[in-house]
A and B are shown apart, each in its own frame.
Chain A
Amino acid sequence: MNTASSMSIFLNAAIINNFVLAMFLGICPFLGVSNKTDTAMRMGGAVTFVMLVASVCAFGINKVLTWMGAPYLQLIAYIVVIASAVQLVEMIIKKFSPALFRALGIFLPLITTNCAILGLALFQTARQYDFVQSLAFALGAGAGFTLALVLMAGLRERLELSTVSSVVQGAALTLILAGVLSMAFMGFAGMAS
């Protein structure tokens, strides 16, 4: 059993061990959808939402699998159930809240099999979080992802206006920027203690 408080789990996932910048989960959307702050915000919202759904699902699946004594089904069950659950939720949102669907909808299918989502499920199981801790972890991870994405988008929006050598442009520059951002986040280490 893990005894860490929900608050420290939240802070840990959001800034100290940021999901993107320290644990390298969800790098693809981080590099791909970080051009505009507005898009980054909405992507972050969608990811946080999917993380909450995934966290609840993973918690349930883990209970069932432990009871069945079938740990070898963990990975397959996580992927299949999380993907199905997110699709189900997507349909429900589409029916009951078209406005919310327009804001988050297009990102949902893209991120279901994103490694941040599966990573969240795997880490929460490995650390033996209980239900409330899992939720705090999911919220923290989502907040951390959104923060990293929005910061990156802000940097890149500014960068568009500056002249950069053609050799550096593109992925290389984004990665080096991410490195600097990651270094800045290292300053948060030690906050929990």
Chain B
Amino acid sequence: MATPAANLTRKTDIQSADTFIKGLWRENPVFVALLGMCPVLAVTNSVINALAIGLASTFVVTLSSTMVSLAKNVIPKQVRIASYILIIATFVTVTEYMLQALSYDVHKALGAFIPLIVVNCMILGRSEAFASRNSVGLAALDALGMGMGFTLACLSLGTVRELLGNGTLLGIPIFGPSFEPWVIMVLPPGAFFVLGMWLLLFNWFKQRKEAAE
């Protein structure tokens, strides 16, 4: 991703790197901002589903942010939200058709949660808060970072849930035949528990760090 400035100074390099990285950890859309929880909880019962929903969301947020940033000077303020939703809905529909053509089974497993990417607050949030005020390069970078952060969060749930709930990773058995799966993990309550535990872990790290300082 090229930054808009023709001659890259060291400062813009750092700035664009930070734009990308902040979404992964410091401003992670799921763990820190608690955005887009519906898909994170609903379709992360296996690694492959988690990966699919994460990448689909990344794809949509990156394209929408780029589009919004490109059109930011054309769209009047009064109709901006409506325009953003229109842009996002278009890309979501495009993504849905592409995923359906790529893998029938994954699309079937995700069901209605692909179209529901439209109402993921993360995407509209990035369009409104970042893309509409920054250059195309930065907007794309920011969206990509946020999308990757979102994917990371989905994967961190999907991995734990598939490993404990099914004893497999990507369908490959890990623990051997004597392992009794924790069925609850692949059921709805498991999603709440695993996400709750991750947040707890992060809270604990944060408090320890603060105490140490």
Contact = CB atoms under 8 A, between A and B. Distances in A.
Interface of A: 21-28, 31, 72, 74-76, 79-80, 83, 113-115, 118-119, 122-123, 126, 166-168, 170-176, 178-180, 182-183, 186
Nearest to A17: B188
Contacts of A83: 85
Contacts, number: 111
B192 A178 contact: yes
B193 interface: yes
A24 B184 contact: no
6 A-B pairs closest in CB distance: A179-B192, A175-B196, A24-B42, A172-B199, A176-B196, A27-B37
A114 B116 CA distance: 10
Contacts of B200: 167-168, 172, 176
Nearest to B203: A167
B37 A24 contact: yes
Interface in B184-205: 184, 187-193, 195-197, 199-200, 203-204
**In the complex, which range does the number of interface residues on chain B fall in?**
35 or more
Nearest to B90: A76
B86 A80 contact: yes
Contact of A183 (B89, B90, B184): B184
Given A168-B203, A172-B200, A172-B203, A79 B118 contact: yes
8 contacts: A23-B42, A31-B34, A75-B93, A115-B116, A115-B120, A118-B118, A122-B115, A183-B184
Interface in B153-202: 184, 187-193, 195-197, 199-200
Nearest to B97: A72
Contacts of A26: 38
Nearest to B207: A167
Given A74-B93, A75-B93, A172-B197, 20 more contacts: A21-B188, A22-B188, A23-B42, A23-B188, A24-B37, A24-B38, A24-B188, A26-B38, A75-B96, A79-B118, A80-B86, A168-B200, A172-B200, A175-B195, A175-B196, A176-B197, A178-B196, A180-B189, A186-B187, A186-B188
A186 B116 contact: no
A126 B97 CA distance: 16
Contacts of A113: 85, 119, 124
Most buried by B among A74, A166, A171, A173: A171
A98 B92 CA distance: 38
A27 B203 contact: no
B112 interface: yes
